[in-house]
Amino acid sequence: MPKPYSHSLKFPRSIASAALCAVSILCPLYAGQPQAPSAPVDPPQDRTNPATMQSFQIPSHGAQLNALVYVAAGEGRHPAVVLLHGFPGNERNLDLAQDIRRAGWDVLYFNYRGSWGSPGDFSFSHGIEDTAAAVAYLRQPPMARILRLDPSRIVLIGHSMGGFMAVEGAAADPAIMAFGLISAADLGARIPQPLPKEKEEAVIKSMSAAYAREGMAPLAGCTPEGLARETLANAAQWNFLTKVDALKTRPALIISSNDGLAPGNAAFAAALQHAGNDRVTTLHLATDHAYSDQRRALSNAVLQWLAALPQAPPQH
């Protein structure tokens, strides 16, 4: 049985310095990690309990979220990852989902309300609610049987805005076993606190432009300005640092890249460690926000972290 572990790497002091390092030399997740990993190998086919894909809709606050689960081969009961996409969700990390399934985990992917064809209006608050609804759906005994999963061993892993959803979801749900962040976007930290009233409109204008640049076409029922105002209204409670106390006892994986989010991710990791969390694993990869040329390195890091998680659910 793998032991829980603590492994932390220092993030580079600046994004520029990160670009100067060769990841496999300066930023390995573990000593001895291969520089050129071999291609993943499919496990022997289990004809009795084969790997499958199940698609369905998850009820959430009057809407039906489009969802799928990559079901791992074998009788189970399998641990499960809920894989949370970012804003607006162009990078879905389904290659990562397949690798996680190959390692024996079920993987749930879904689209938040108002995103990518799921009915309803998109908002960050709705995304938080939808994440909780997705976890609750997995825990229902009929779904656990169909998917051959262990509802006591659920991990949240999120990319970008999905990392924000993972932090919010894990902090609100002590039964979440662990959480992983991939270039997590700390929405609350984007707004200085306290923010003088006379500066609010300028911040909303700037944030609206940033959301518009990310691309709003896959999202329904929202506007860049509306999302900016929602962020401003919730900034204090949505800051990652406000969740440290709720998350200080659970394993965390925090991966960053050269996208400007690394300093905030490093600060969150440091705060967790300062609070006594000795199971924080960090890694910086010198690549873009989508990890375009580091997909294998990203997958290796996630798989090694998942493999080292405890075999029994955490005690709280």
Structural domain including 287 reads 15-21+46-307
- For residue range 257-292, what is the model confidence (pLDDT) as tens digits? 999 999 999 999 999 999 999 999 999 999 999 999
Distance (Å, rounded) from C-alpha 195 to C-alpha 98? 43
Q: Is residue 88 part of a domain?
A: yes
Q: Which of 10-14, 85-89, 285-289 has the lowest mean pLDDT?
A: 10-14
| pTM exceeds 0.95 for this model | no
Percent of the chain past pLDDT 90, that is, above it, reads: 82
Q: Is the pLDDT of residue 28 over 80?
A: no
Q: What is the residue-averaged pLDDT of the chain?
A: 89
Domain count, the chain: 1
Helices (H), the chain: 15-19, 23-26, 94-102, 124-139, 141-147, 161-172, 200-214, 224-238, 244-247, 262-274, 295-307
Are the C-beta atoms of 181 and 265 separated by less than 8 Å? yes
pLDDT greater at residue 57 or residue 193? 57
Q: Is the pLDDT of residue 10 over 50?
A: no
CA torsion sign, 207 to 19 to 90 to 170? negative
Are the C-beta atoms of 9 and 33 separated by less than 8 Å? no
State mean pLDDT over 284-310.
Answer: 97
Band (pLDDT 50/70/90 cuts) for residue 247 is very high
Band (pLDDT 50/70/90 cuts) for residue 313 is low
Q: Is residue 135 part of a domain?
A: yes
Q: Is the pLDDT of residue 205 over 60?
A: yes
CATH number at residue 136: 3.40.50.1820
- For residue range 148-204, what is the model confidence (pLDDT) as tens digits? 999 999 999 999 999 999 999 999 999 999 999 999 999 999 998 899 999 999 999
> Residue 137 half-sphere exposure, CB side, CA atoms within 13 Å?
23
Q: Is the pLDDT of residue 63 over 80?
A: yes
Q: Is residue 39 part of a domain?
A: no
- For residue range 88-118, what is the model confidence (pLDDT) as tens digits? 999 999 999 999 999 999 999 999 999 999 9
Q: Is residue 41 part of a domain?
A: no
> Would you put residue 215 in left (φ > 0), alpha (ψ -120 to 50) or beta?
left
> How do the residues of the chain divide into helix, strand and coil, expressed in percent and rounded to 5?
40, 20, 40
Q: Is residue 66 part of a domain?
A: yes
Q: Is residue 204 part of a domain?
A: yes
Distance (Å, rounded) from C-alpha 29 to C-alpha 24? 9
Q: Is residue 69 part of a domain?
A: yes
Is 108 exposed, middle or buried (CB count within 10 Å of its CB: 0-12, 13-18, 19+)? buried
Q: Is residue 313 part of a domain?
A: no
Q: Read off the amino acid at residue 289.
A: H
Please compute Rg for the chain using Cα positions.
Answer: 19
State mean pLDDT over 34-62.
Answer: 83
Q: Coil, strand or helix: which one is 252?
A: strand
Hey, what are 104's tokens? Answer: 């024996």
Are the C-beta atoms of 73 and 49 separated by less than 8 Å? yes
Distance (Å, rounded) from C-alpha 267 to C-alpha 50? 42
Q: What is the pLDDT of residue 1?
A: 38
Distance (Å, rounded) from C-alpha 199 to C-alpha 230? 16
